[in-house]
Amino acid sequence: MKIRTYAILKDYFSDITDITFNAKHIAQIKDKLEEINPSAKAILNISRFAVDDAFVALDYELKGDETISVIPPSSGG
């Protein structure tokens, strides 16, 4: 599965593009990202997750070949 991060999350996970572990739900992806960089926990808690460009809940069941986007809140300008 591929992980894409956006905006401020790129500062925390600039090197992450692929995760090689078996996650069954989005919540496990979030937990793994927090494990990789604990200082990102606060921003991950307010970020939204999308699977193949559609927003999903943390209990979304993964198949294993999706692209997961982690999108923090943003302000316009």
Residues 25-37 pLDDT 10s? 999 999 999 999 9
Q: Is residue 40 part of a domain?
A: yes
Q: pLDDT-derived band of residue 64, with 50, 70 and 90 as boundaries?
A: confident
Cα within 13 Å of Cα(26), Cβ side: 20
Using an 8 Å Cβ cutoff, are 33 and 66 in contact?
Answer: no
Q: Is the pLDDT score of 65 beyond 90?
A: no
52 Cβ neighbours under 8 A, 6+ residues apart: 66, 67
Percentage of the chain beyond pLDDT 70 is 90
Q: Is residue 9 part of a domain?
A: yes
Domain region containing 54: 2-71
Q: Is residue 77 part of a domain?
A: no
Total tally of structural domains belonging to the chain: 1
Q: Is the pLDDT score of 21 beyond 90?
A: no
Q: Is residue 44 part of a domain?
A: yes
Residues 31-54 pLDDT 10s? 999 999 999 999 999 999 999 999
CATH number assigned to the domain comprising residue 67: 3.10.20.30
pTM (predicted TM-score): 0.87
Q: Is residue 76 part of a domain?
A: no
